[in-house]
Structure 1
Amino acid sequence: MTSSNSRTSEYPIDAFFLDRWSPRAFTDERIDRDVMLTILDAAHWAPSSGNNQPWRFIYGLRGTPAFDTILDLLVAGNQRWARNSAALIVIVSKSYRVASNGEHKPAYTHSFDTGSAWFSVIAQAMKLGYHAHGMEGFDKEKAVEVLGLPDGFRVEAAAAIGRMADKATLPEELREREVPSGRKAVAEIAFEGKFSGEA
């Protein structure tokens, strides 16, 4: 068992995994472009089926038009706290691979691979003193249009990166939610030999 960040694991994992969480309270500090690119450089070394590297990151730094463009894609509930982050990202994956004859073939693991790159974003951000918060709550169709995504690319998620602030900076109704969440028991998500969990 490992304990950290008000969480306790069932098995002796590294405390990093307990320290990782998705806060909403961010300072209004800016992030340097080179720091942002360092975070994204770490992501592009993620594992990739056939080295297809399907992940793409469209980012905006606080105080730039790109940040405002991405912020405008978020639902109102996410905008109210994400506006204080240092950077916003839209995470996209290429849903095909190009065969040797130039034909486009479906890339079955494109989302899986892009998820591993996203975790690398989180890990590198934390190593530099930042936190990241992924979001499903944004206008995906508008993102395709506004960000100029070509056919064959899937919008996966949006994310905010920043330095954590005191939860008192959040709107009152979000403050009580500003704690690291628990997880299901390992027995509910890992099965030896055959699926036996809830459908």
Structure 2
Amino acid sequence: MSLITDTHSRLADTDAELLPVLAERWSPRGYDASAVVDEAVLTTVLEAARWSPSASNSQPARFIVTRRGSANFATIHANLMGFNQAWADSASVLIASVAEVPIDPETNLPKESPWTRYDVGQAVAHLSIQAQAEGLHTHQLGGFEGQALAEAFNLAANQVIVTITTLGVLGDASTLTPELLEREIAPRTRKPLTELLLVND
């Protein structure tokens, strides 16, 4: 058995019982580089994102969905930064999450609402949890060349890439570099809940 092939080996140590799909979700780097995500399952994962909440039902989230082996997948991978390039190409799918910013009717220029990126985050969260329920794993990436990707995919001036999501099947973590492997198997930790609650009366 590989170092990490069992979701339960990474189960969150929670102070209250969570839904299994929440407790089991984590962000791996070691994907199965030969696995292909079933198209019906991928559609289901994206449908979960579509039905996430958004301010006034504005639905600002857009997605660039690329499958391993395609030119568009290679474009996203080539524009990842740092450690991300070392492992993300083993994922089955790379998804760029895009915020479509409202256009100000007075200036005809993009005018970002405080909720736009928040709602994209909600969409990606729904996507991630649905993926986990389907037996897949996701990892959010913030290190990427946003301007280069915007140009490569001909995004409009009011379309901004917020994050890249890797999606795939858990693989053999021992294939990672020693530095990445150390991160992969490090204990999962969170701040205590009491530290997060500014008011709780």
What's the TM-score bracket when you normalise by the shorter of the two chains?
0.7 to 0.9
- Give runs of aligned pairs for residues 140-179 of structure 1, distance below 5 A: 140-179=146-185
Long gaps (5+) in structure 1: 195-199
TM-score scaled by length of structure 2: 0.85
TM-score scaled by length of structure 1: 0.86
More helix by percentage: 2
SS of the residue 2:184 aligns to: coil
Long gaps (5+) in structure 2: 1-7
- Who is 2:99 aligned against? 93
Deviation at 1:10, TM superposition (A): 2.0
- In structure 2, C-alpha distance between the alignment counterparts of 1:18 and 1:6, rounded to whole Å: 6
- Give runs of aligned pairs for residues 9-48 of structure 1, distance below 5 A: 9-28=14-33, 29-48=35-54
- Give runs of aligned pairs for residues 7-156 of structure 1, distance below 5 A: 7-28=12-33, 29-96=35-102, 106-156=112-162
Indicate how the Cα distance of structure 1 residues 46 and 166 shifts in structure 2: closer, same or farther if over 3 A, else same: same
- In structure 1, C-alpha distance between the alignment counterparts of 2:200 and 2:190, rounded to whole Å: 22
SS of the residue 2:94 aligns to: strand
Structure 2 contact 131–137 (Cα < 8 Å) conserved: yes
Letter in 2 for 1:22: S
- In structure 1, C-alpha distance between the alignment counterparts of 2:42 and 2:58, rounded to whole Å: 23
- In structure 2, C-alpha distance between the alignment counterparts of 1:85 and 1:136, rounded to whole Å: 16
4+ runs of 1 displaced by more than 6 Å? Answer: none
Q: Which has the higher contact order (CA 8 A, sep 6+)?
A: 2
Structure 1 contact 70–88 (Cα < 8 Å) conserved: yes
- Residue by residue over 1:58-95, the C-alpha shift from the partner in whole angstroms, topping out at 9 and shown as x without a partner, is 01101111111111111142111111110001111112
Which stretch of structure 1 is more off in the superposition, 180-189 or 104-113? 104-113
Letter in 2 for 1:68: A
Deviation at 1:6, TM superposition (A): 4.5
Deviation at 1:172, TM superposition (A): 1.7
Letter in 1 for 2:69: G
- In structure 2, C-alpha distance between the alignment counterparts of 1:98 and 1:63, rounded to whole Å: 39
Deviation at 1:169, TM superposition (A): 1.6
Identity of aligned residues (%): 32
Residues matched between the structures, number: 190
SS of the residue 2:132 aligns to: helix
